[in-house]
Structure 1
Amino acid sequence: MTIEDMKFIQNFKRMTNDAWLKGWHERNGGNITYRLTKEEVSAIKEFINEDSEYNSIGVTVKNLANEYFLVTGSGKFIRNMTVCLGENAGIIKIDEKGENYKVVWGLSNNARPTSELPSHLMSHSIKVEKTNGCHRVIMHSHTTNVIALTFVLPLEGKVFTRELWEMATECPVVFPSGIGVVPWMVPGGAAIAEATGELMKDHDVVIWAHHGMFCSGETLDLTFGLMDTVEKSAEILVKVLSMGGKKQTIVSENFRDLAKDFNVSISEDYLV
């Protein structure tokens, strides 16, 4: 068995291929990180190199100390993950202070982790705390219809949440905590990482205006499914707006009934 025969690697490759086929990752657009379980770390011990040098993350994530992450590479194409994973992605380890990382597998030919690693790790740090470690995936994609809506809707989480909830009955069940929105910022640095992390305290979906979407989830499948649901809802809204706008819709009382029957908690902030 090789490292690429591991189930989590196989799932990762399938997810990246599905995301490419969705049209969410043009060229080197988008990035994905997955926090390995203890069992997975143990299973790959014979394949990793612990002697590599540490590099600065750019942010401090103390509660991720000594954790391992499967990450896509900077400048690498999502479509190539299934062709040669070791050239386009890798596994990194966070140091004991949560300030540095080192590549322990993959990212060959001196490749580096995604340039948006600070945003990913800051969000992972928040989600480890908020979900008691259950969330393991951060996915950032350039979802076409969500990006389009950031040019016509107010850049407010309440607006995006309510508009997208109304487009499909399953939406408040799939993302009951709503959506956060970050205004346009230069990607890759500590500032956008902090802004995204702040919204991740209360949301599993964060939209970067005119850029794309960040989703957090427990597994690769659930995170992909969350992003797919939000983007499909956005596609419906784009079509509705192009047809002259809503003539009827799901009202607040409908959402309250849905929350009761599906046993989900929906904030009244979105039902005003």
Structure 2
Amino acid sequence: MPRFTHAISFVEEVAPFVRLCWEMGWNEANGGNVSWRLPTDEITAILRRRFPNARQHPAVPLPQPQPTLDGEYFLVTGSGQFFRHALDHPDEVFGIVQIVDNGTAYRRVWGYVMGGSPTSEFATHLVGHAIRKRVSNGRERIVLHCHAPEFIALSFLVPLDSRALTMALWQKMPECIVIFPDGVRVVPPLLPGTVTIAEASAVELEKSRIISWSHHGIFASEENPERVFALVETIEKASAIHRKVLSAGGPQRGIGQDLLIELADHFSAMLVCEPAFLKDAG
């Protein structure tokens, strides 16, 4: 990855991964978005030290209040921003906002130097953060939404069914059940950036770090930029293998259920949860 430095360590860490998402073909033009729930004490100290005279911006109401995120800071890609500009124009591509007023609004504290604002899907990101913060006991902090092409292609080829999609991916590489034992949960085609898709996503995020926005892309939650990138990378590779198998006429054989159970048992210490779809999977 290119050497990149920035006054804010979190921007320095995430920007190369955002650029890499574009290089992988996951985030064309202004497609996709990232949000990172930052450690409060650390980002407060950085902002105070590096930007002591930063302007205080007015609060902007949120369409869905998130009281459990009140006071939290988020590093968020801006609406209309291109991932490929992350290293060249980080102060435009990224901004930092704080959730205020008991979770009913946000205020900008850094970035968006050209007058931008958080991604139009920020409300859905906050829904995801609130749920995954609770479910993971605070471990998960970053959400990546991208348009991984092989993964999207499968939504046109296989049933829009969480179990069917998950089992197909698990059976393509032994690593899959270890990397994402929680599986992929499918959300039907819905208008992006709306309360409707946020509510549908919330149901599935209670069960998994990974959801499929059918015909649109992937929405994944993890601990830091490297881990969320690796999660999507693994799913995208398995999707590519499955698509190639389908294009060759379908599988003649695969990783059987017995081996999946053996893999889950052998690597149980590494799993984030029990493999949800392994029981009764025939």
TM-score, with structure 2 as normaliser: 0.92
**Correspondence for 1:266:** 275
1:232-251 correspondence to structure 2 within 5 Å: 232-251=237-256
**Correspondence for 1:18:** 20
- Correspondence for 2:201 among 184, 190, 196: 196
Aligned: 1:163 with 2:168: yes
Aligned-pair distance for 1:185? 0.3
Q: Which piece of structure 1 moves more, 38-47 or 77-86?
A: 38-47
Preserved contact between residue 65 and residue 96 of structure 1 (Cα < 8 Å): yes
Deviation digits for residues 90-117 of structure 1 (CA, Å, limit 9, x no counterpart): 0001013111111110112221110000
- Correspondence for 1:121 among 114, 126, 129: 126
**Correspondence for 2:221:** 216
**Correspondence for 2:64:** 59
Aligned-pair distance for 1:118? 0.8
Deviation digits for residues 3-47 of structure 1 (CA, Å, limit 9, x no counterpart): 923332111111111111100011100000001113233222242
For structure 2, the residue ranges without an aligned partner over 5 or more in a row are none
User: SS at 2:237's partner residue?
Assistant: helix
Percent identity over the alignment is 35
**Correspondence for 2:103:** 98
Deviation digits for residues 81-138 of structure 1 (CA, Å, limit 9, x no counterpart): 1111111210001013111111110112221110000110000000111111111000
Q: How many residues align?
A: 270
**Correspondence for 1:72:** 77
User: SS at 2:165's partner residue?
Assistant: helix
Q: Which piece of structure 1 moves more, 218-227 or 50-59?
A: 50-59
Preserved contact between residue 16 and residue 86 of structure 2 (Cα < 8 Å): no
Aligned-pair distance for 1:271? 2.5
User: SS at 1:215's partner residue?
Assistant: strand
1:129-208 correspondence to structure 2 within 5 Å: 129-208=134-213
Decide whether aligned partners of structure 1 residues 220 and 270 sit closer, same or farther in structure 2, where only a CA change above 3 A counts.
Answer: farther
For structure 1, the residue ranges without an aligned partner over 5 or more in a row are none
Return the letter of the residue paired with 1:112.
S
Aligned: 1:44 with 2:54: no
Aligned-pair distance for 1:244? 1.2
Paired with 1:64 and 1:50, the residues of 2 have a C-alpha distance of 23
User: SS at 1:108's partner residue?
Assistant: coil
TM-score, with structure 1 as normaliser: 0.96
